[in-house]
Structure 1
């Protein structure tokens, strides 16, 4: 019985931790407004980017800013994170 509980606990922890890594920067619904193309390769001009940024909730802006603080995530979303820093983070 204890081994079963340990295995279930480990599985639950893995699911929770995995979900933590899938943040807003990997959510197409939240990221699409910042890009001109469906493949999300080309950023919108600064003025449009700022409008999309300010249209987010404070919570979303704070979460995205926090994610950009992670070196590996920031490298993967380099242009996006640079723009958020230019806007002063979670204004």
Structure 2
């Protein structure tokens, strides 16, 4: 019985920790608002990008700024991160 409980507890911790370590670029609902097209190939000009940035919650801006400061996470999204970092992660 203890073994089953220990396994269940380990599973619950693992499932609970997953969202905290998730890639913000893959599960970020507002990400498409920074692009002019549905394929997310063409970024909005800085004015439109800035409007979309400030439409996000402070929590989401902090999360994206942290991701853009991580070289491994930002490399595939270099153009997006360049604009985020140009805004200085402004609040």
With normalisation by structure 2, the TM-score equals 0.81
Tell me, in whole angstroms, the C-alpha distance in 1 between the residues paired with 2:44 and 2:18. Answer: 30
**Contact kept in structure 2, 1:53 and 1:61, CA below 8 Å:** yes
Q: Residue 55 of structure 1 aligns with which residue?
A: 55
List, as ranges, runs of 4+ consecutive aligned residues in structure 1 with deviation greater than 3 Å.
none
TM-score normalised per structure 1: 0.81
In the other structure, the counterpart of 1:36 is 36
Structure 1, unmatched stretches of 5+, are none
**What is the aligned residue count?**
91
Structure 2: 5+ residue runs without aligned partners?
none
